[in-house]
Amino acid sequence: MLPRRHEDTKKEKDGIGAKRISGVQMLKLKRAYESPSADDGERILVERLWPRGLTKGKARIDLWMKEISPSAELRKWYSHDVAKWKEFQKRYREELKGHKEEVALLRKKSKAGVVTLVYAAKDEEHNSAVVLKGYLEK
């Protein structure tokens, strides 16, 4: 086992006062309809469609990654039916395997600083951003 270097375990303060370990992913989730804040870091919209009624100025999105969102077919099949949640997670993770470049980019960005994955769904526990965050953290 290699000895740990001080830099590997050094803790840094981020904008919200939470501590993080250097090089560790900092991923957050936030609904598109919630007000942006300074501690969001880079705000990345992970929806195929732009959130209804939300202006680009109000959303303050830094990057829109529609290609990493669930396919139109999967999104329509799921239709936010919680009874399909487990199967949706499985199918979406399979789709994510085909988006290696986008996944790598999100992981890189989250290791460099705070990244907030912005989504539009009303259900804060059963949506594609929750699945994506879990996938990125593995």
Per-residue pLDDT reduced to its tens digit, 6-29: 333 333 333 333 334 445 669 999
The ranges assigned to domains in the chain are 9-137
pLDDT of residue 34: 97
- Output the pTM of the full model: 0.82
Determine which helix (DSSP H) or strand (DSSP E) holds 4, and give its type and residue range.
none
Amino acid at 48: R
DSSP 13-79: E-TTS-EEETT--EEEEEETTSPP-GGG-EEEE--SSPPTT--HHHHT-SEE-GGGSPPHHHHHHHT
